[in-house]
Amino acid sequence: MKTYDYIIVGAGSAGCVLANRLSADPATRVLVIEAGGPDKNFWLKIPIGFYRSVYDNRFSRSFTTEPSETTGGRGIIWPRGRVVGGSSSINGLIFIRGQHDDFDDWEKLGADGWGYRDVLPYFRKLERFRGAESQYHGAHGTLDVSQLRNDHPMCRAWLSAAQQWGLPANTDFNGDTTYGVGAYALSISDRWRSSSAVAFLHPALPRQNLTLMTQTHVARVVFEKGRALGVELLADGRREIVRAEREVILSSGSLQSPQILQLSGVGPADLLKKHGVDVVADAPEVGENLQDHYQARTIVELRDKISLNNDVRNPIKLAQMGFEWLVKGSGPLTVGAGQVGGAACTKHAVGGRPDIQFNVMPLSVDKPGTPLHKYSGFTAAAWQCHPASRGRLQIRSNDPLADPMIEPRYLSEEIDRKTLVEGIKMLREIYRQPAFKDVWTREVVPGSEFDSDEKILDFAQKTGGTVFHPVGTCRMGRDDRAVVDPELRVRGVSGLRVIDASVMPKVTSANTNAASLMIGEKGASLVLGH
């Protein structure tokens, strides 16, 4: 039986950070197990490759949620990274931590030591910020974070319109506040994506004490008398057990960390018995507390043919894009899922804290991976920062390769429905400001016929979808029902931790990848007793 000190399940956002930090001691043997393959493909490297890779089954595993009345009877597809680097290798690259109060909320919910002042040093430690020096940023980390390098006139016009509507300019969403509008920071270096694998795992792989297994699926954690001894692997049609002398660490994300726990006998006892899984620890909240941001888009047609929809069909423009990226490290090929946007307060906001986030791009498309629309499209989307709706995840059987049942319960709470409607109305008002009102000819989505709150909500429910931010299914807290304690140790067993986005008690107000990386950084410190 192969033996290591630490076994990390998942080479994703947090897992790669853990692999780097835990293997820094040459006397410590570390194994990282990844279900996907290597991250060598060109589209995983170039920032704009997000549009090609996020739904590509070579690099992601697509899960489908349960249909619900609040999503128009639809199931929503949730792609999650199944490649070295995990979702940090396929995501939209927007690097935003969230509101300071997000982390103070975690602490109030029982995540002792996870308030904003506690986590800021870990954000700073992992980051190499390519902007002005600031107390909020790190300059000596290995994850490159850059300011937007594509200046599109329609994005400038939208920012001016948003300020005319009443939102302040914000030059740094990772600084004092997320409130206001501006350009998003992105996890890119000079020209390439700075994934967790690029920043943390690849530099550490030459170490003799670090082993990476790819194309290897973890079936379950193996326990003896309540202690995690190792994991059972599935690879090339065979089963194998590898042993961990110190700890097993699940970093498989908010869908597969709880699934692995349940398959291993840690979860709601009745559910486990139903599917023939021996109960190791009755943990009723494993898979509960599921949260995600739900987004609805607006699209207008621009008067002039200056959308990226037009540019990608123009060979001269395409050549210019390639030249700008190759020579200057800038231009449209250096952007991800959003160029500009910001956070605002609807009439439902509490205490002046933004409750809606905007994401703006000078293009339009049905979904990433499909052709851009043929008209000159411009997209502005809105999602609720603090959803009150809570879902759940449960295994359907004891088959480790089967998809779990995912029930997000989007928009099941009235405040979520009301806030999203207000966000869409805000976007429409911004379009009508002097700086933008003359540059577009018609609203394509949702369309002028959606002219009441009821119709707008109906549109959002039938056409909206995920922003790829599922969290919370292995909630941390000090109470006995929390899945992990504030040290990220799984309750009811020993030798096992969960370190990934699933431990968030509450979803951050913004994109979740930066916070997931921080969890990996702080989690490594907890494992090492620092």
Residue type, 421: V
505/471 Cα distance (integer angstroms): 8
**The model scores a pTM over 0.95:** yes
User: Tens-digit pLDDT profile for the chain (530 aa)?
Assistant: 899 999 999 999 999 999 999 999 999 999 999 999 999 999 999 999 999 999 999 999 999 999 999 999 999 999 999 999 999 999 999 999 999 999 999 999 999 999 999 999 999 999 999 998 999 999 999 999 999 999 999 999 999 999 999 999 999 999 999 999 999 999 999 999 999 999 999 999 999 999 999 999 999 999 999 999 999 999 888 999 999 999 999 999 999 999 999 999 999 999 999 999 999 999 999 999 999 999 999 999 999 999 999 999 999 999 999 999 999 999 999 999 999 999 999 999 999 999 999 999 999 999 888 999 999 999 999 999 999 999 999 999 999 999 999 999 999 999 999 999 999 999 999 999 999 999 999 999 999 999 999 999 999 999 999 999 999 999 999 999 999 999 999 999 999 999 999 999 999 999 999 999 999 999 999 999 98
Contact call for residues 363 and 308 (beta carbons, < 8 A): yes
Q: How high is the pLDDT of residue 428?
A: 98
433/157 Cα distance (integer angstroms): 10
> What is the torsional sign of CA 525, 528, 529, 530?
negative
Cis, peptide link before residue 446, omega less than 30° from 0? yes
Dihedral angle of Cα 268, 270, 273, 279, to the nearest 10 degrees: 40
Which residue carries 């309750």 as its tokens? Answer: 491
418 dihedral zone (left: phi>0; alpha: psi -120 to 50; beta):
alpha
Residues 6 or more apart whose Cβ sits within 8 Å of residue 362: 152, 154, 155, 306, 307, 308, 339, 378
85/34 Cα distance (integer angstroms): 9
What is the separation, in whole angstroms, between the first and last Cα of the chain? 31
Determine if residue 218 is labeled as part of a ligand binding site: yes
Give the catalytic positions in this structure.
469
Q: How high is the pLDDT of residue 236?
A: 85
Determine if residue 365 is labeled as part of a ligand binding site: no
Q: How high is the pLDDT of residue 478?
A: 98
Q: How high is the pLDDT of residue 31?
A: 98
Domains of the chain from N-terminus onward: 3-41+196-290+471-528 (3.50.50.60), 149-183+294-386+409-469 (3.30.410.40)
Which pair of tokens denotes residue 366?
């049905």
Q: How high is the pLDDT of residue 235?
A: 86
